[in-house]
Amino acid sequence: MTAVSSIDVRTGTPVAEVAAESTAADVDAVCVRAERAFPALEALGRAGRAAMLRAMADELEARRATLTEVADRESALGETRLNGELTRTCFQLRLFAEVIEDGGYLEATIDHAGDTAMGPRPDVRRMLVPLGPVGVFGASNFPFAFSVPGGDTASALATGCPVVVKAHPAHPGTSQLAYEALDAGARASGAPEGTVGIVHGQEGGSLLVRHPAIKAVGFTGSLRGGRALFDLASARPDPIPFYGELGSLNPLVVTPAAAAERAEEIAKGLIGSFTLGVGQFCTKPGLAFVPAGEAAERLRAAMTAGVAELGAGWMLSAGIHDAFEAGAARLRETAGVSAVASTPDGNGSQGPTASSPVVFAARAGELSGAVLEECFGPVTVLAEYADEEELFAALAGLSGALTATVHIGDGETGLPERLAAALRDRAGRLIWNGFPTGVAVAWAMNHGGPWPATTNALHTSVGGTAVRRFVRPVAWQDAPQSVLPEELRDGPVSVPRRVDGTLEPSA
């Protein structure tokens, strides 16, 4: 049996053995427990599950010191960032409590019996119901917010789906502690045993995706790993939805007017964004289109000067460090690409798994190979365009992304509208005069996008509507009141409903 060890990423040494890699029997046991928990978890009702989510947030906060300390040793992200991330994670659990209390996510709909142009129609009532146990793969780069206690887990539990998490191997200790906090919150709220489960190890993950009890999977990670698991989910005898967030280049466009107005300010913001968390954000801007000429030179000079002031930062793991350095090397070797900004100390001054930010430049009309793929880490490419024709041709060659960002001039019109039209079908979120890193947890947020940004662009993994991934519609036809969910019964209910075609507010 292989042990799963917690590694101090700054020293590369094991801290402790956290768990054993899950065997087939382990995965089966935890999935069967989740399956058995499903009816009782749903029966808690929206109010009961909202209380559970809040209890889970409370339990995480009660363990804040230990969680952030262990997470910092395993991820090197620093306690300030990790404290903020834990706060966000708790905020998110509480937002999903509000979402299910609101009840709009149920899409409750009633068509009373009556005569129609098609003849008599029965009484039909529709509502969304939970799918069943959900598998959640934690991400490396957000040990809390996109991992064991993250948005996938919170949104699945909110709807009434038990969750089995697959711990990320880069932070197994954090994962185990977060799991214990969630489990304590579940127990304190009267949720059934098996509401939350955990498995460890790569083979455990692939067994999880194939287990008959699992009805959907949430995943945040690499294109290669995500594609392999998506293929497993799709090849099941009974295929299940796989919500994977994979890779994203997150293009950014600076219009000539914006560059002329504030090249230096944009450069400063871009540096802050592409180096945030040592570049280890899925929304990191990896390709910035800047107009050729004097303004571009100002922007480039500001990038060069700004990056020169930065030092190396610890990467999340030795593997991610090595993959980043290999990716940066590929960029360096790509035809037409030149390095225009780097730090004076080079890489590795802090230790073997630290990396330094670097900026490359290329012509927008000549992008190819590595420039068009995500390189996870502190690197971005400035792509100079001579005119709009070159810009739009380059944009048309881009793959799907989580975000696309546009910097425009004060009061500028024409080009912004054309950029909005060109970018909308290539991204899930369009940011104006800002930067894509930082994903607000809000009702209107969308975090997703066309392939390869995600495996399923129809749904978001962040924000109030993330719950839609784990529910499916059921219709009840001519049903007696006693077999209907309470939200579909006659009389006033505390959810908005569409009744005979008209949207009615919550009573």
| Residues annotated catalytic, as ranges | 245, 282
Please give the C-alpha separations between residue 19 and each of 62, 145, 198, in angstroms, as whole numbers: 23, 22, 10
Q: Is 396 in the site for its own copies (CB under 8 A)?
A: no
DSSP 486: G
Name residue, tokens 């809390």: 144
By the 8 A CB rule, do 464 and 99 touch? Answer: yes
Q: Which residue blocks in 236-280 are alpha helix, DSSP H?
A: 256-274
Query: What is the 3 state secondary structure string of 289-348?
Result: EEECCHHHHHHHHHHHHHHHCCCCEECCCHHHHHHHHHHHHHHHHCCCCEEEEECCCCCC
We find the least distance from the C-beta atom of residue 503 to its own copies, in angstroms, to be 5
CA triple 271-246-445, angle to 5 deg: 70
The number of angstroms, rounded, from the C-alpha of 275 to the middle of its chain's C-alpha atoms is: 18
Collect all residues with Cβ–Cβ distance below 8 Å to 36 and sequence separation of at least 6.
192, 194
Q: Per the structure block, which two tokens stand in for 66?
A: 């230990």
We find the least distance from the C-beta atom of residue 348 to its own copies, in angstroms, to be 34
Q: Is 505 in the site for its own copies (CB under 8 A)?
A: yes
**Residue 356 vs 460, nearer CB to its own copies:** 460
Q: 158: closest CA among 264, 48, 288, 8? A: 48
Q: Which of 416, 461, 487, 493 binds its own copies (CB under 8 A)?
A: 416
Q: Which of 48, 78, 104, 348 binds its own copies (CB under 8 A)?
A: 104
| Residue 33 identity (one-letter amino acid) | R
Which listed range, 113-121, 261-269, 277-285, 366-374, lies at the site for its own copies (CB under 8 A)? Answer: 113-121
Q: How many CB atoms lie within 10 A of CB 276?
A: 18
Which listed range, 58-66, 353-361, 386-394, 498-506, lies at the site for its own copies (CB under 8 A)? Answer: 498-506
We find the least distance from the C-beta atom of residue 109 to its own copies, in angstroms, to be 4
Q: Which residue blocks in 343-466 are alpha helix, DSSP H?
A: 388-396, 415-424
Q: Per the structure block, which two tokens stand in for 2?
A: 């292989």
Return the residues of window 431-450 that contact its own copies according to CB under 8 A. 431-434, 440-446, 448, 450
Site string for its own copies, 151-180 (x = CB under 8 A): ------------------------------
DSSP 278: G
Q: Is 348 in the site for its own copies (CB under 8 A)?
A: no
We find the least distance from the C-beta atom of residue 125 to its own copies, in angstroms, to be 6
Name residue, tokens 């990056």: 307
Q: Which of 111, 183, 325, 390 binds its own copies (CB under 8 A)?
A: 111
Q: Is 248 in the site for its own copies (CB under 8 A)?
A: no
CA triple 328-334-338, angle to 5 deg: 75
Return the residues of window 266-305 that contact its own copies according to CB under 8 A. none
Name residue, tokens 């054309």: 418
**Residue 109 vs 353, nearer CB to its own copies:** 109
Q: Is 250 in the site for its own copies (CB under 8 A)?
A: no
Count of positions on this chain that bind its own copies (CB under 8 A): 88
**Residue 160 vs 169, nearer CB to its own copies:** 160
d(CA 275, CA 352): 19
**Residue 180 vs 504, nearer CB to its own copies:** 504
Return the residues of window 213-232 that contact its own copies according to CB under 8 A. 230-231
By the 8 A CB rule, do 423 and 249 touch? Answer: no
Which backbone phi and psi does 255 adopt, to 5 degrees? -75, 160
d(CA 222, CA 230): 12
Q: Is 390 in the site for its own copies (CB under 8 A)?
A: no
**Residue 277 vs 357, nearer CB to its own copies:** 277
Q: Is 430 in the site for its own copies (CB under 8 A)?
A: yes
Return the residues of window 453-492 that contact its own copies according to CB under 8 A. 455-460, 463-465, 468-469, 471-480, 482-483
Site string for its own copies, 114-143 (x = CB under 8 A): --xxx--xx-xxx--x-xx-----------
Return the residues of window 30-49 that contact its own copies according to CB under 8 A. 39
**Residue 348 vs 450, nearer CB to its own copies:** 450
We find the least distance from the C-beta atom of residue 36 to its own copies, in angstroms, to be 13
d(CA 267, CA 299): 6
**Residue 278 vs 401, nearer CB to its own copies:** 401
Which listed range, 160-168, 183-191, 194-202, 415-423, lies at the site for its own copies (CB under 8 A)? Answer: 415-423
Q: Is 417 in the site for its own copies (CB under 8 A)?
A: yes
**Residue 335 vs 411, nearer CB to its own copies:** 411
**Residue 294 vs 417, nearer CB to its own copies:** 417
Q: Which of 61, 107, 261, 265 binds its own copies (CB under 8 A)?
A: 107
Q: Which of 11, 66, 202, 234 binds its own copies (CB under 8 A)?
A: 234
Q: How many CB atoms lie within 10 A of CB 137?
A: 25
Q: Per the structure block, which two tokens stand in for 388?
A: 């709009």
Q: Is 408 in the site for its own copies (CB under 8 A)?
A: yes
The number of angstroms, rounded, from the C-alpha of 174 to the middle of its chain's C-alpha atoms is: 18
